[in-house]
């Protein structure tokens, strides 16, 4: 499904609904919802009332996003996302010295990321605003999702959608050539084929229809294509996740 709904219960306190089990680094809390016995990822943040509003928050529903389920406000703002178990972001994958992506693998990553971006742009009608290797995550089944920060994008209500696509072009160059650090290096990135360079050239200005029809993305298989990324997940997961900072001896309200 590719719909979005206005969030209900934004003003309700989260404590009675969720029990926090542990805190993972700076990512957030893994919480248990009492009524459903399901796990969620809960992020706590301070709302900047000068340029952010909870009125722009909506639940999201797309396979290539870590979806925002609901939000609560109680002095701080709590954003509740679907929990997908242990994932690794692409920045950590690229940091592994033995990792080298093939062009087909890059096309798979790119295709699923673009599906998520199209939903953010066309259905949510906002820009992501912070697309980077750190904000794209790889799952144990090879699935690619844009990380749990869509709530921040909705709060900021940014409109520079083309910047997201420009940033995606940088990510393609970075995945092709790990030494590409500066955005100005995109045109000189090594290991990018001619069709890859052609794709980078059209990406910032082309329609989504033209983007999906490009031969660079046609390398990504329709069914099961993401499975080719599983080895990268397995080679990274043992080095990626911090241990819980504090595991509660007894479950407690957030």
CA 115, 40, 27: angle at the middle one, nearest 5? 80
* Separation CA 105–CA 77 (nearest Å): 37
pLDDT of residue 71: 86
Query: pTM of this prediction?
Result: 0.85
pLDDT of residue 153: 92
Q: Are residues 124 and 23 in the same domain?
A: no
Residues, the chain:
254
Q: Are residues 35 and 147 in the same domain?
A: no
pLDDT of residue 243: 44
Tens digits of per-residue pLDDT, 72-130? 877 788 899 998 888 899 999 988 877 889 999 999 999 999 999 999 999 999 999 99
Q: Are residues 169 and 64 in the same domain?
A: no
* Separation CA 32–CA 30 (nearest Å): 7
Residue with tokens 């009125």: 55
Mean pLDDT by 10 residues, the chain (254 residues): 48 58 73 77 79 82 94 82 88 85 94 96 94 93 91 90 93 80 59 89 93 94 80 84 43 48
Q: Are residues 53 and 102 in the same domain?
A: no
Token pair, residue 2, equals: 């590719």
Q: Are residues 124 and 221 in the same domain?
A: yes
Range of the domain at 63: 18-85+242-246
pLDDT of residue 121: 97
pLDDT of residue 102: 92
User: Please, are residues 85 and 187 in contact by the beta-carbon 8 Å criterion?
Assistant: no
Q: How many CB atoms lie within 10 A of CB 82?
A: 17
Total of domains in the chain: 2
Residue 71: what are its φ and ψ, rounded to 5°? Answer: -145, 150
pLDDT of residue 42: 87
Q: How many CB atoms lie within 10 A of CB 131?
A: 25
Q: Are residues 42 and 99 in the same domain?
A: no
């Amino acid at each position: 499904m590719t719909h979005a709904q206005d969030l209900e219960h934004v003003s309700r306190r989260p404590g009675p609904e969720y029990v926090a089990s542990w805190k993972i680094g700076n990512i957030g809390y893994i919480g248990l919802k009492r009524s459903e016995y399901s796990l969620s990822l809960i992020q706590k943040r301070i709302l900047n009332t000068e340029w952010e509003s909870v009125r722009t928050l909506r639940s999201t529903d797309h396979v290539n996003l870590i979806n925002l389920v609901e939000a609560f406000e109680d002095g701080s703002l709590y954003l509740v996302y679907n929990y997908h178990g242990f994932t690794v972001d692409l920045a950590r994958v690229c940091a592994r010295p033995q990792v080298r992506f093939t062009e087909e693998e890059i096309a798979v990553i790119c295709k699923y990321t673009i599906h998520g971006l199209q939903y953010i742009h066309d259905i949510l009608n906002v820009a992501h605003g912070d697309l980077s290797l750190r904000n794209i995550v790889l799952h144990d089944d090879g699935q690619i999702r844009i990380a749990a920060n869509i709530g921040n994008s909705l709060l900021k209500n940014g409109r520079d959608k083309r910047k997201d696509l420009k940033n995606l072009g940088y990510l393609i160059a970075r995945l092709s050539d790990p030494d590409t650090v500066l955005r100005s290096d995109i045109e000189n990135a090594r290991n990018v084929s001619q069709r890859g360079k052609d794709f980078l050239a059209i990406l910032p200005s082309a329609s989504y229809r033209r983007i999906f029809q490009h031969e660079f993305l046609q390398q990504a298989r329709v069914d099961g294509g993401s499975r080719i990324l599983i080895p990268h997940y397995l080679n990274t997961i043992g080095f990626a996740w911090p241990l819980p900072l504090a595991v509660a001896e007894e479950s407690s309200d957030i």
